[in-house]
Amino acid sequence: MYCEFTNVMNPETYPDLRNAVRFPLHLPVTLKTSTDEHRVETIDISAGGILFRSETEVQVGSAVEFTVAMPGDVLGSDRDILVKCNGRVVRCSHERSGLSIAVIIDEYKFERL
């Protein structure tokens, strides 16, 4: 299944179902699938997943790899930190702000720059 249109839910009808704090960071990332690479930008990041903005669709269920260069000041470090992640696409939707791709992080590893 590729992207499908989803309506924005009314926040009064549906409570926020997120279980982790999200940080609104807009960072460039290369999202790699088994067959392709996509240039995307993070919209927000949490401990369990990342929401990306993209110009191309990625199939739901695809295994993905990506590395995010997290700014040190956001993490309380004196240096930026690379976060190497493996995950899978759980949602791809057209929204008012454009195409978004939600990825659950299955594994990650920190590396200092």
User: For 15-71, what is each residue's pLDDT tens digit?
Assistant: 444 567 888 989 999 999 999 999 999 999 998 899 999 999 999 999 999 999 888
H helix or E strand, kind and range, residue 24: none
Residue 28, classified by CB atoms within 10 Å of its CB into exposed (0-12), middle (13-18) or buried (19+), is: exposed
Measured CA to CA, the distance from residue 53 to residue 56 in angstroms comes to 9
In a domain, 3, yes or no: no
For residue 78, give the CATH number of its domain. Answer: 2.40.10.220
Distance CA 31, CA 57 (A): 11
Give the pLDDT of residue 53: 96
Q: Could you give the number of structural domains in the chain?
A: 1
Tokens 């930026």 belong to 80
The predicted structure's pLDDT at residue 29: 96
pLDDT for 7 equals: 39
Domain span at 80: 22-112
Q: What is the pLDDT of residues 62-111, one digit of tens each?
A: 999 999 988 888 778 888 889 999 999 999 999 887 899 999 999 999 88
